[in-house]
Amino acid sequence: MPELRHDPIQRRWIIIATDRARRPTDFTHEKASVTSVSFDPFAPGNEDKTPPEVFAIRKKGSEPNTPGWKIRVVSNKFPALKIEGDLDREGVGLYDKMNGVGAHEVVIETPELTETIATMKENHLALVLKTYRERLVDLMRDTRFRYILIFKNHGSEAGASLAHPHTQIIATPITPKIVALELESARAYYHIKERCIFCDLMKQELADGSRIVLANEHFVVYCPFASRFPFEMMVLPRVHAHRFGESSDEFLEHMAYTLKEALTRLNVALDDPPYNFMLHTAPNINTEPRRANYWETLQYDWHWHLEIIPRVTKTAGFEWGTGFYINPVPPENAAKFLREVDI
């Protein structure tokens, strides 16, 4: 019998479609990693093919915008939002609009085209995570930005237009509705229970065990009860913390081996699938006008996390018309497979 399941944080019903149940090997997709490309604008030596770097981790003595970097952050050459200008909020009859003010940056994770988050060294991945933190903290100084999303599109089927391993950062002048909903759910829960809903979910998942992919001293990774996508994973720090940007170096080193293991398990289980991940941290607390930023006040009940969604199924009219999702793999099966796969 198919099952309807409800996610208490994103307040969404999903359908676990047992009659359409599939095994990991049933999902066909292009391999997300590449071995070569005709031209790589993010390769060392091509620094002049990107906008100038805003941050880099480099070998001592190397000059900005030249080779010698380990990680390099540049503005997106074709930004979705632009850094200059005022918002100029305006009504258009029944509609509303404002200028597309924001930031759109690219974290070039490594000089190597063929490396991925799952295959790079742990200490290099820790540097990538520290780079996320540095950019997040810096962008939060801009009082026009309500939210900063760090996300990754891995593989062209997951929306990556360039193959060289990179993460994107977009700062928006609006708190995104998905984040706002998560903040609201956490607040409503805290209001009644005076406990964090993420902490409670984590406890329930650990006690149940059936959806756990891995659990170490600092992180728990599990397949959500109401997963939208097959093999979806939630990466949750055990400590209650709402701002990723306040993570210590040491904590990000723990995150590095956790994330590497989670993505390695996914890679082996689904044979190098395309995926997205999205880091949900708290909204910016420095915005002006303060009185207008309702969402900022909600953040203290919240718990930062990283969502990983493999892109091996297609969203179609049903999903776009309802907001429901049909998932052909029960998360219990997905977690068991991810847990037991040889890595």
Where would I find the beta strands (DSSP E) of 173-271?
212-215, 219-222, 233-237
Structure tokens at 212: 């756990």
Among 39, 94, 194, 248, binds its own copies (CB under 8 A): 94
**Is 83 among the residues that bind its own copies (CB under 8 A)?**
no
98 lines the binding site for its own copies (CB under 8 A): yes
| Single residue of 173, 245, 273, 310 touching its own copies by CB under 8 A | 173
Buried b / exposed e over 12-50, threshold 16 CB at 10 Å, is: bebbbbeeeeeebeebebeebbbeeeeebebbeeebeeb
Closest approach of Cβ 45 to its own copies, in Å?
A: 26
Q: 235 forms bridges with which residues in the sheet?
A: 221, 306
Residues in 99-128 that interact with its own copies by CB under 8 A: 99-100
Q: Which of residues 41-60 bind its own copies (CB under 8 A)?
A: none
Q: For residues 69 and 147, which CB has a smaller minimum distance to its own copies in the complex? A: 147
DSSP state of 207: H
Site pattern 300..329 for its own copies (x: CB under 8 A): -------x-x----xxxxx-xxxxx-x---
Binding to its own copies (CB under 8 A) within 177-236 occurs at 177-179, 197, 200-201, 204, 208, 225-226
Among the candidate windows 108-116, 134-142, 274-282, 286-294, which touches its own copies by CB under 8 A? 274-282
| Spatial distance between the Cα atoms of 269 and 261, rounded to a whole number of angstroms | 12
Asked if 17 is part of the footprint of its own copies (rule: CB under 8 A), the reply reads yes
81 binds its own copies (CB under 8 A): yes
Nearer to its own copies, 61 or 92 (CB): 92
The gap between the terminal CA atoms of the chain, to the nearest Å, is: 33
Specify the length of the chain in residues. 343
Q: Max CA-CA distance within the chain?
A: 64
Q: For strand 12-16 and strand 3-7, is the pairing parallel, antiparallel, or unpaired?
A: antiparallel
Q: Which is nearer to its own copies, 35 or 92 (CB)?
A: 92
- Closer by beta carbon to its own copies, 178 or else 268: 178
